[in-house]
Amino acid sequence: MGARMVDRRKAEDLDARIAAARAAHAPAPAEESKYHKANMAWQMVIELVAGMVLGLGIGWSLDWLFGTVPLFLAIFGILGFVAGVRTMMRTAQRVQERAAAKAAEDKAPSGDA
């Protein structure tokens, strides 16, 4: 039985050394880059503009195809704007959820006492 106790201590010592080595070589947590907020703002602007351009393109194409006055252009322009705003709002919500999760993670006790 004494041999088992020695083996268990060796295994626990080895586990502790492995954990220390992993902690020493673990990458640093990713910090928010200097341009992260600017990138998010540009992404939201591009989402809005892309929705509008797509809607206007579809409306103009349908007007050209059917030979109508800019009826479809107006309808699909408005629908493209609404789609762009909805996509932009989803992105903003995702950013807020990440920020809330990070804040909760920062407030959580680390567990080393």
Q: How many degrees, rounded to 5, is the angle at CA 97 between CA 92 and CA 102? A: 125
* Structure confidence by residue, pLDDT tens digits, 61-87: 999 999 998 999 999 999 999 999 999
* Structure confidence by residue, pLDDT tens digits, 93-106: 999 998 898 888 87
What is the distance between the alpha carbons of residues 18 and 29, in angstroms, rounded to a whole number?
20
What is the distance between the alpha carbons of residues 107 and 99, in angstroms, rounded to a whole number?
12
Stated pTM of the model: 0.64
Q: How many degrees, rounded to 5, is the angle at CA 80 between CA 79 and CA 85? A: 100
